[in-house]
Amino acid sequence: MIYTLIVKGPAYGKENSISALFFAKALVSRKIHVIKSVFFYCDGVLNANKFLSPAKNEFDTRKKWSMFSLQNQIRLNVCFSAALRRGIIGIKETCNQKILEGNLDIYFKISSLENLSRDIQKSDRIIQF
């Protein structure tokens, strides 16, 4: 089965993001499932903020998503408009906004709802967290 995951919960304060990560890890470990992409939408885009810095004894959600992406070659897409509304700025947007540095983690990529719809068309299952 081919899955697309949609994460709408922030990195901290709700369990949406961590639940999605554990679900994604379980899918990948079975080796019979494929994750087309993970799409961060609404408050889920806050997972992509590279300036998140939890205490050393806390679960680092952003870092865990980054490592998951790197190890499994799975795209972590961030909704462009939701990210801008919540202050998540990628490198390309820094020029337009006249800001020196963006705060989008390098393992997350700015994307659009159009890309999400293409991924959904190519998926057997869509799961929202």
Residues with catalytic annotation?
79
Kindly report the backbone phi and psi dihedral angles of residue 25, in degrees, each rounded to the nearest multiple of 5, phi listed first: -65, -40
The burial class, CB within 10 Å (0-12 / 13-18 / 19+), for 96 is exposed
122's CB contacts (< 8 A; 6+ apart) are 2, 36
Q: Please state, as a whole number, how many other Cβ atoms lie within 10 Å of the Cβ of residue 5.
A: 24
Tell me if residue 74 falls in helix, strand or coil.
coil
Helix (H), strand (E), coil (C) string for 80-115? HHHHHHCCCCCHHHHHHHCCCCCCECCCEEEECHHH
